[in-house]
Amino acid sequence: MRPLLLVVVLTVLSHIGFVGTRMTVSLTAISDNASPLTVGVLMSLFAALPMLLSVHAGRLIDHAGAFRPTAWSGGILVAGILLPFASPSLPVLFVTAVVIGTSFMIQHIALNHLVGTYGDPAERAVNFSWLALGYATSGFFGPLLAGYSIDLVGHRFSYLMLAITPIAAMILFFWRTPPMPPPQPPKPDAEEHRISDLLKVPKLRAAFLFSGLLATGWDLYTFVIPIYGSQIGLSASTIGVVMASFAAATFAVRLGMPLVARRLHEWTVVFAALVISGSAYCLFPLAERAATLMALSFFLGIGLGCAQPMIMSVLYAATPPGRQGEAVGVRTTVLNASHTFLPLVFGALGTALGVVPVFLAMAGLLLTGGWLANRQRRQPA
pLDDT tens readout for residues 342-379: 767 777 777 777 778 888 888 998 998 888 878 776 66
Q: pTM for this one? A: 0.70
Residue from 362, 150, 161, 132 nearest 241 by CA: 150
- The domain in which residue 37 lies consists of 3-177+197-378
Q: Please list the alpha-helical segments (H only) found in 121-179.
A: 124-162, 164-175
For residue 188, being part of any structural domain is answered with no
pLDDT along the chain (381 residues), means of 10: 85 94 89 81 83 80 83 93 91 93 90 80 74 83 88 92 94 88 59 67 77 81 82 84 85 77 75 90 87 92 82 73 71 73 72 80 88 73 52
For residue 190, being part of any structural domain is answered with no
Per-position b or e across 65-76, b if 16+ CB within 10 A of its CB: bbeebbbebbeb
For residue 250, being part of any structural domain is answered with yes
pLDDT at 192: 57
Give 228-232's long-range contacts (Cβ < 8 A, gap of 24+).
Answer: 228/284, 228/293, 228/355, 229/290, 229/293, 230/27, 230/30, 231/355, 232/288
Spatial separation of the C-alpha atoms in residues 294 and 371, rounded to whole Å: 27
Any idea what the CATH number is for the domain that residue 45 is in?
A: 1.20.1250.20
* Total domains present in the chain: 1
Per-position b or e across 229-268, b if 16+ CB within 10 A of its CB: bbeeebebbbbbbbbbbbbbbbbbbbbebbebbeeeebbb
For residue 26, being part of any structural domain is answered with yes
pLDDT at 222: 79
For residue 183, being part of any structural domain is answered with no
For residue 186, being part of any structural domain is answered with no
What Cα–Cα distance (Å) separates residue 234 from each residue in 56, 140, 166?
A: 41, 18, 28
